[in-house]
Amino acid sequence: MKHYLILVTACIAALFFTRCGQKSSNVENTPEPPGATEKAVSDEITLTDAEMERASGIYFNTCAGCHGTTRKGATGPSLLPDARTKLLTTAGLKAFMMNGTPGGMPDWGKQGILNDEEMDLLARFLQVPPPPIPEYTLDNMKASWKVLVPVEDRPTKPEHDRNWQNFFGVILRDAGQVAIIDGDTKEMISIAETGFAVHILRSSASGRYFYSIGRDGKVTLIDNWMAKPSVVAECKGSFDARSVDVSKYKGPKGDFIDKYVIMGGYTPSHFVIMDALTLEPLTVVSTSGEACDNGEYLEEARVAAIVASHKDPLWVVNVKETGMVWLVDYTNVANPEITKIKTARYLHDGGWDNTGQYFLVAANASNKMVVVDVTNKKLETIIETGIKPHPGRGANVNNKEHGNLYVTGHLGENKITFIATAKGDNQWNIVKNLELPGAGGGNLFVKTHPKSNHLWADRALNNEVSLQRSIFVVDNQTLETIKTIEVPQKYQGRAVHLEYNKAGDEVWVSVWGKMDKPAENAILVYDDKTMELKNEITGDWVITPTGKFNVFNTMHDIY
Which region, left, alpha or beta, applies to residue 9 given φ > 0 means left and ψ of -120 to 50 means alpha? beta
pLDDT digits (tens, 9 = 90+) for 444-488: 999 999 999 999 999 999 989 999 999 999 999 999 999 999 999
In this predicted structure, what is the pLDDT of residue 184? Answer: 98
Q: Which of 11, 20, 66, 292 is catalytic?
A: 66
Q: Which of 52, 97, 105, 235 is catalytic?
A: 105
Amino acid identity, position 258: D
In this predicted structure, what is the pLDDT of residue 70? Answer: 81
Q: Please say if 348 is a catalytic residue.
A: yes
Q: Please say if 11 is a catalytic residue.
A: no
In this predicted structure, what is the pLDDT of residue 402? Answer: 97
How many Cβ atoms are within 10 Å of 401's Cβ, its own excluded?
9
> Domain for residue 309, yes or no?
no
Longest dimension (CA), the chain: 66
Dihedral sign (CA 10, 13, 17, 18)? negative
> Domain for residue 342, yes or no?
no
Please tell me whether residue 49 adopts helix, strand or coil conformation.
helix
In this predicted structure, what is the pLDDT of residue 18? Answer: 34
In this predicted structure, what is the pLDDT of residue 273? Answer: 98
Cis-peptide, bond into residue 268, ω within 30° of zero: yes
> Domain for residue 362, yes or no?
no
Q: Please say if 497 is a catalytic residue.
A: no
Q: What CATH number does residue 80 fall under?
A: 1.10.760.10
CA dist list (Å): 150 to 153, 178, 234, 261, 283:
5, 21, 12, 17, 21
Q: Please say if 390 is a catalytic residue.
A: yes
Q: Which residues are CB-contacts of 95 (< 8 A; sequence separation ≥ 6)?
A: none
Q: Please say if 160 is a catalytic residue.
A: no
Q: Which of 199, 390, 402, 449 is catalytic?
A: 390
Please tell me whether residue 430 adopts helix, strand or coil conformation.
strand
> Domain for residue 558, yes or no?
no
CA neighbours closer than 13 Å in the CB half-sphere of residue 172: 27
State the burial class of residue 99 (Cβ atoms within 10 Å of its Cβ: 0-12, 13-18, 19+).
middle
Low-confidence ranges of the chain (pLDDT < 50): 1-42
pLDDT digits (tens, 9 = 90+) for 143-175: 999 999 999 999 999 999 999 999 999 999 999
Count up the domains in the chain and report the number: 1
Q: Give the domain range for residue 26.
A: 2-125
Q: What is the pTM of this model?
A: 0.85
DSSP calls for 132-191: PPPP--HHHHHHH-EESS-GGGS-SS-SS-S-GGGEEEEEEGGGTEEEEEETTT--EEEE
Q: Which residues are CB-contacts of 395 (< 8 A; sequence separation ≥ 6)?
A: 406, 407, 446, 447, 448, 455, 559
> Domain for residue 274, yes or no?
no
Contact between 469 and 487 under an 8 Å Cβ cutoff? The reply is yes
CA neighbours closer than 13 Å in the CB half-sphere of residue 257: 11
> Domain for residue 116, yes or no?
yes
Q: Please say if 63 is a catalytic residue.
A: yes
> Domain for residue 112, yes or no?
yes
Q: Which of 348, 410, 449, 497 is catalytic?
A: 348
> Domain for residue 113, yes or no?
yes
d(CA 251, CA 261): 16
Q: Which of 11, 67, 270, 454 is catalytic?
A: 67
In this predicted structure, what is the pLDDT of residue 35? Answer: 45
